[in-house]
Structure 1
Amino acid sequence: MSVEQPAYETLKQDGSFEVRRYNGYVLAHVDVEADFDTALNEGFRALFGYITGHNRVRTKVPLTMPATGEVGERTETIPMTVPVIMEPRREGVYRVGFIMPGRYTLETLPRPDNESIGFTEIPDHKVAVIRFSGHSHEPKVREKIGELKDWLRGNDLEPKSSFRLARYDPPWIPGFLRHNEIMVDV
């Protein structure tokens, strides 16, 4: 099964580090007040519920006589994409996000049943990335952020956003097979 990923161009590669230019996309997100691992799990569950049908799509029902036209609702399943994004918002609050498939816009996405889910249109942007395998628990994420900060300094690049965790694999994949990244706008 193929899973959609956002399109990007690699501008520079240096071992496990890269600079990429991403095309724009729509991010579905939820802010969760919790510790790192709990926020990631709760945010994932809320967003997974949204893409698996806990949403409403407005559909026009054809006008028939003598009835008047009505607007009906149905649910829609949205294909899963990777990566799942997580970034700190403020102390103890994390934003977890799913990148929506490229065929959707802010106007065409179904309305979530969960009112805490929001959407942001992310324009084309450039990021620096460090790739790593294994589990993405908070100590490992902090370590990789430190490595990426050092690499940025050594390459005269300035971070222009918060550092984000990008997870590419479902939780049942063994840690040593998992693909994770830390990314930051530059």
Structure 2
Amino acid sequence: MQILWLGLWLVMAGTAMADQQKHKGYEMPPYTVESVADGVELRRYGPHVVAEVTVTGDRSTAISRGFRALAGYIFGGNEGGEKIAMTVPVAQTPAGGDRWTVQFTMPGAYGVETLPVPRDAAVKLRQVAGDRQAVVTFSGLPQTADMETRAAKLRDWIAARGLTVTAGPHYQFYDAPLTLPWRRRNEVSFSVE
């Protein structure tokens, strides 16, 4: 009987880990949850590869411009015309002034050296080292003012625990624009140590 329970637990644990790495069937960067407190997850992300572009404009304009450039790359805008699977989230981080860096995580099967070269010189491929992030997840339409408020509260939460912000805020979007607001997954996070 103990072997049956152990086997069932291993299957459930494996399923939970596999589910954690996908959102609605789309691959996500690998992470584990270290702790959860006050609605904030401390996550440890593993190394992964991103395609990124830095664009200008307000937050909404920049995410659209960045998404178009990166979608062009994965939908065949690269040497060889290879199609690359879509992943989640689409990430956006302020880069100073009205500049924003928008990222797609590349599927785990690729390394920087094995990805096709982008035709658009603005699209860069980069290996990201693993890091630790404090993350707040929420649903709804990701409005700029709301996200800035969530980022300020998260920064206060981080400071109250004696952690140091090393990058961010990062804004992450997991669902297509036509997804109903209450079914959307959005996140605000900071890299911390």
Normalising by structure 2, we get a TM-score of 0.84
In the alignment, the residues of structure 2 paired with residue 46 and residue 30 of structure 1 have an alpha-carbon distance, to the nearest angstrom, of: 7
Aligned residue in 2 for 1:170: 176
In structure 1, runs of 5+ residues without a counterpart are: 57-73
**Which is greater in Rg?**
1
Q: Is the 8 A contact 1:129 1:183 kept in 2?
A: yes
Number of corresponding residues: 169
In the alignment, the residues of structure 2 paired with residue 15 and residue 26 of structure 1 have an alpha-carbon distance, to the nearest angstrom, of: 30
Aligned residue in 1 for 2:56: 33
SS in 1 for 2:163: coil
SS in 1 for 2:50: strand
Equivalent residue letter for 1:48: A
In the alignment, the residues of structure 1 paired with residue 44 and residue 175 of structure 2 have an alpha-carbon distance, to the nearest angstrom, of: 22
Which of 63, 69, 89 matches 1:46? 69
Which of 106, 129, 138 matches 2:135? 129
Equivalent residue letter for 1:17: V
CA RMSD of aligned residues (A): 1.1
Which of 160, 164, 169 matches 1:158? 164
In structure 2, runs of 5+ residues without a counterpart are: 1-23
Which of 104, 110, 114 matches 1:104? 110
Identity across matched positions, percent:
35
SS in 1 for 2:126: strand
Q: Is the 8 A contact 1:16 1:132 kept in 2?
A: no
